[in-house]
Chains A and B, each alone.
Chain A
Amino acid sequence: MTYDLAFDISLAGLLLAIALWTIAARTNFPAIVLFMIYGLVLAIVWVRLSAVDVALTEAAIGGGVTSMLLLGAAARLQGKNVASEQLGLPGRLAAALLCIFVTAGLAYAVFLRPEVAATLAPMAKENLAESGLGNPVAGVLFVYRALDTLLEKVVLLLALVGVWSLAKDEMWGGIPGLRVYAQPSGILVYLAQVLPPIGIMVGIYMFWAGANYPGGAFQGGTVLAAMWLLVMMARLQDVPATSAPWVRLCLVVGPVAFLAIGLSGFVFAGSFLGYPEGHAKPLIIIAEATLTLSIGVTLALLVAGPPERMPQR
């Protein structure tokens, strides 16, 4: 047994143990904290699978903003867990049987690996030079399957509009109810003053480096969102109203730029979301830059939630 395999076995075991504990925990708070740890361990697993871009995304989104979202929700929920609503033992047995059946089927599917794995890596690699990118994952996201990325950005915006629509009628366009700390403790304010400059630099670097190394707009944007949320929670900056023009502008600049570049492809490259010869990289960088900003603002506002109070005039 090599060191690699031993490491992987312990990593997999740790992951499963944490996941089991998350599902089985009795109260919300420990479950969410465990979920956060689960996200971070999963990021290490992704590195083991040679998927560093995914590791960055999982650490930032799964271990970061998702956990923040869930913690905020858990803090706001009132009402007790009514034990009488628990599914009875036969129901749980049936569910367990179903899950074991699904797991067995999937394990069997993993076991049945074909002789030669069908893969698109060679095709992805050989066409990468044409676009000037060095990171094949960025190539897939912004060149080969750019339509998916465009639609996904629309999905993000739509989720935000959906969350905003949950506000009360009178509060429409108001300030989201992100929990800020009225008497910020020393350590929170200290972190909010020290971390953001470093964080913003890291975020911008991640996006910039994403063209040739692991990274990209999603990862960088998430780090920016996290920094902004930190600053807002420590009350170093006010949470903006959702109807503020600059907020709306930042939200749309990314998708609009990406869509405009895509539409210009009709004229200059003969196809929607095609890039003209030799100009692919600068256009992709512009698209990614604006998308980083938009993603940052969108993710932060998704965590902040629906508007809950109106700004004072």
Chain B
Amino acid sequence: MAPDAIVLSDATTADGYLLVLAIIFPVIGILLTLAFGGRYVERIALVLLLAGLVVAIAIFAAVLRDDQSLVYIVGNWKPPLGIALRADGVSAAMMLTIAVIICAIGLYARGEFGQSQATVPTRASYAFWVLLLAIWSGLNAMAVGADLFNLYVALELLTFAAVPLVCLKGYEETIKAALRYMLFALLGSVLYLLGIALIYGAYGTLDIALLSDRVRPEPIAWIAAALMTAGLLAKTALFPLHLWLPPAHAGAPPPGSAVLSALVVKGSFILIVRLWFDAMPGLLSFAAAQLLAALGAGAILFGSVLALRQARLKLLIAYSTIAQIGYLFFIFPLASGDSASTPWSSIAWTGGWLQLFSHAFAKAAMFMAAGLIAEAVGHDQIADLRGIGRALPVTIFAFGLAGLSLMGVPPSGGFVAKWMLLSATVMEGQWWWAVVMLVGGLLAGGYVFMVLGKALSSTTPPVLRVSIPRHSEVLVLAVALCAVLLGLVPLQPSEFLTIGRPDIHTTALQ
């Protein structure tokens, strides 16, 4: 057995059925709303959001308690013939983050897409709830999927739910943005499928755990991995394949932008990590890892500089997403292959995932805050947001907290994440990434303060078109606080995030 192979139980564990529920609950919601002609769509969606949150908490608790992954063998057919579902520490933490953010977005969206009575809903509100449920199902399926083709179907589910969300408002620019997103996503899917074909042809299975044992560093594995990664990078909008993201995320309605930037782009990222770290562990060479991190560095610099030049708030936040996604790719050189035997690789692993979680909370809070601001003053031109801090203090405070996480300022999850990544870069001698991270942090500070400065300038506040209910502002603050709360995580490699990983990666730091 290869040293990096994943050794996991290949039988259904006691609480494994929860994994099935996590995928199926949103599907039940979609089918129910279609059957009822859309009448109770908001209620059904909210009930299922709550149920899904309970399931996510249960999965997290089960993984914590058992200190091993949850496994479910679907239909009692073991891989390679059948499909397995696996939730390791990272999956459980991911699903909990997804559940909390989607519930928050669901509550936030009641303002724009709520139904007052059980009447026939409008197009936008019906579509929004169905798409939100579908995105959740797709994300859960990606978090627990352990079969490459099953992950492909989940990826398509995610894409088909995300694209109509972009053009939900129906304006010309949003339709253009949705079409561009669709074309990039289609290219990405087809390249991924091509890689799967080569892998099946060479190794006869698509199960990730079995592949970790069978894959050898040979040309066909390289070609397949390159194709799949290229396709997934297009979906994650990593520089230079990021062109579709800013107009798409800025054009969606505010709850849509929040879920797209916070969660949907991370779905394909999880798949890239699963591919290189789980399915083909021996394959990540120094050169490949440095290339991925170099693209990440490009994303940080390019995205941050462009964010500084934006006139519209939502576009600024979208470019900030491009930049923050770049940080995630430092996981490849720091937690992988060559560095795997040093203790610093598990700190990099923890740091990378913390960056993902804290960015998810922070970005969701930012887009929700931007949505409230746009609703209140009727536009999102940054130059005309003078003094809005007086009119919407809670919202601007939440925006500021989220910004702290993006900059990497304590106390925040972003600070802990970036600190861990920085320590890993310095200790492993790859100090050039540290420079990029510090510059990125400075630039992030630049664009966050650009907005905050305007908002807190002490001229008279603008007249609000619509009054914003206090509970919406508090909800945004709660999400931003989650990003800050992640900063209370101790500055050491997380044992939880290493549950289910091969032993090499669990060396803790003294």
Does B associate with A?
Answer: yes
Known interface pairs A112-B219, A273-B75; A164-B80 also in contact (CB < 8 Å)? no
Instruction: Find out whether the CB atom of B12 lies under 8 angstroms from the CB atom of A271.
Output: yes
Instruction: Find out whether the CB atom of B75 lies under 8 angstroms from the CB atom of A157.
Output: no
Instruction: Find out whether the CB atom of B83 lies under 8 angstroms from the CB atom of A145.
Output: yes
The answer, yes or no, to whether A93 is at the interface (CB within 8 Å) is: no
The answer, yes or no, to whether B74 is at the interface (CB within 8 Å) is: yes
The answer, yes or no, to whether B288 is at the interface (CB within 8 Å) is: no
Instruction: Find out whether the CB atom of A273 lies under 8 angstroms from the CB atom of B74.
Output: yes
Instruction: Find out whether the CB atom of B122 lies under 8 angstroms from the CB atom of A169.
Output: yes
Tell me, in angstroms, the Cα distance from A164 to B34 when the chains sit together: 12
Instruction: Find out whether the CB atom of A151 lies under 8 angstroms from the CB atom of B120.
Output: no
Instruction: Find out whether the CB atom of B120 lies under 8 angstroms from the CB atom of A173.
Output: yes
The answer, yes or no, to whether B309 is at the interface (CB within 8 Å) is: no
Give A298 Cβ to nearest chain B Cβ, in Å: 11
A136-179 contacts to B, CB under 8 A, are 143-148, 150-152, 154-155, 157-159, 161-162, 164-169, 172-173
Q: Looking at the complex, which one of B24, B34, B163 makes contact with A252 (CB distance below 8 Å)?
A: B34
Query: Which of B23, B75, B154, B198 neighbours the largest number of chain A CB atoms within 10 Å of its CB?
Result: B75
Residues in chain B near residue A109, CB distance under 8 A? 198, 201, 219-220, 223-224
Instruction: Find out whether the CB atom of A155 lies under 8 angstroms from the CB atom of B219.
Output: no
Residues in chain B near residue A105, CB distance under 8 A? 223
Residues in chain A near residue B122, CB distance under 8 A? 169, 172
Instruction: Find out whether the CB atom of B157 lies under 8 angstroms from the CB atom of A158.
Output: yes
Residue of A with least CB distance to B84:
A147
A96-125 contacts to B, CB under 8 A, are 105-106, 108-109, 112-114, 117-120, 123-124
Return the CB mask of B125-151 against A: 1 if under 8 Å, else 0.
011001100100100010000000110
A230-261 contacts to B, CB under 8 A, are 243, 245, 248-249, 251-252, 255-256, 259
Residue of B with least CB distance to A171:
B123
Residue of B with least CB distance to A102:
B227
Instruction: Find out whether the CB atom of A146 lies under 8 angstroms from the CB atom of B75.
Output: yes
The answer, yes or no, to whether B204 is at the interface (CB within 8 Å) is: yes
Tell me, in angstroms, the Cα distance from A265 to B153 when the chains sit together: 22
The answer, yes or no, to whether B449 is at the interface (CB within 8 Å) is: no
Instruction: Find out whether the CB atom of A243 lies under 8 angstroms from the CB atom of B120.
Output: yes
Residues in chain A near residue B194, CB distance under 8 A? 106
Q: Looking at the complex, which one of A108, A155, A248, A256 makes contact with B157 (CB distance below 8 Å)?
A: A155
Instruction: Find out whether the CB atom of B73 lies under 8 angstroms from the CB atom of A271.
Output: yes
Residues in chain B near residue A249, CB distance under 8 A? 35
The answer, yes or no, to whether B203 is at the interface (CB within 8 Å) is: yes
Residues in chain A near residue B74, CB distance under 8 A? 146-147, 271-273
Residues in chain A near residue B134, CB distance under 8 A? 154, 158
Instruction: Find out whether the CB atom of B31 lies under 8 angstroms from the CB atom of A259.
Output: yes
Residues in chain A near residue B28, CB distance under 8 A? 259
B452-505 contacts to A, CB under 8 A, are none
Residues in chain A near residue B219, CB distance under 8 A? 108-109, 112
The answer, yes or no, to whether B82 is at the interface (CB within 8 Å) is: yes
Return the CB mask of B81-122 against A: 1 if under 8 Å, else 0.
111000000000000000000000000000000000000101
Tell me, in angstroms, the Cα distance from A245 to B37 when the chains sit together: 7
Known interface pairs A112-B219, A161-B130, A273-B75; A151-B150 also in contact (CB < 8 Å)? yes
Q: How many residues of A sit at the interface, in one of the four size bands?
A: 35 or more
Tell me, in angstroms, the Cα distance from A119 to B80 when the chains sit together: 10
Instruction: Find out whether the CB atom of A144 lies under 8 angstroms from the CB atom of B75.
Output: yes
Give A45 Cβ to nearest chain B Cβ, in Å: 16
Known interface pairs A119-B204, A144-B75, A161-B127; A272-B198 also in contact (CB < 8 Å)? no
The answer, yes or no, to whether A274 is at the interface (CB within 8 Å) is: yes
The answer, yes or no, to whether B232 is at the interface (CB within 8 Å) is: no
Residue of B with least CB distance to A142:
B75
The answer, yes or no, to whether B167 is at the interface (CB within 8 Å) is: yes
Q: Looking at the complex, which one of B124, B154, B164, B223 makes contact with A151 (CB distance below 8 Å)?
A: B154
Residue of B with least CB distance to A116:
B204
Instruction: Find out whether the CB atom of B20 lies under 8 angstroms from the CB atom of A158.
Output: no
The answer, yes or no, to whether B302 is at the interface (CB within 8 Å) is: no
Instruction: Find out whether the CB atom of A252 lies under 8 angstroms from the CB atom of B76.
Output: no
Known interface pairs A114-B202, A154-B157; A274-B223 also in contact (CB < 8 Å)? no
Tell me, in angstroms, the Cα distance from A114 to B215 when the chains sit together: 13
Contacts A/B (CB < 8 Å), 30 sampled: A106-B194, A113-B201, A114-B202, A118-B202, A118-B203, A119-B204, A123-B80, A144-B77, A144-B82, A145-B82, A151-B141, A151-B153, A154-B137, A155-B156, A158-B130, A161-B34, A161-B130, A162-B127, A162-B160, A162-B161, A166-B167, A169-B122, A169-B170, A173-B120, A252-B35, A256-B31, A259-B24, A271-B12, A272-B74, A273-B75
A interface residues (Cβ-Cβ under 8 A, vs B)? 105-106, 108-109, 112-114, 117-120, 123-124, 127, 143-148, 150-152, 154-155, 157-159, 161-162, 164-169, 172-173, 243, 245, 248-249, 251-252, 255-256, 259, 263, 265-266, 269-275
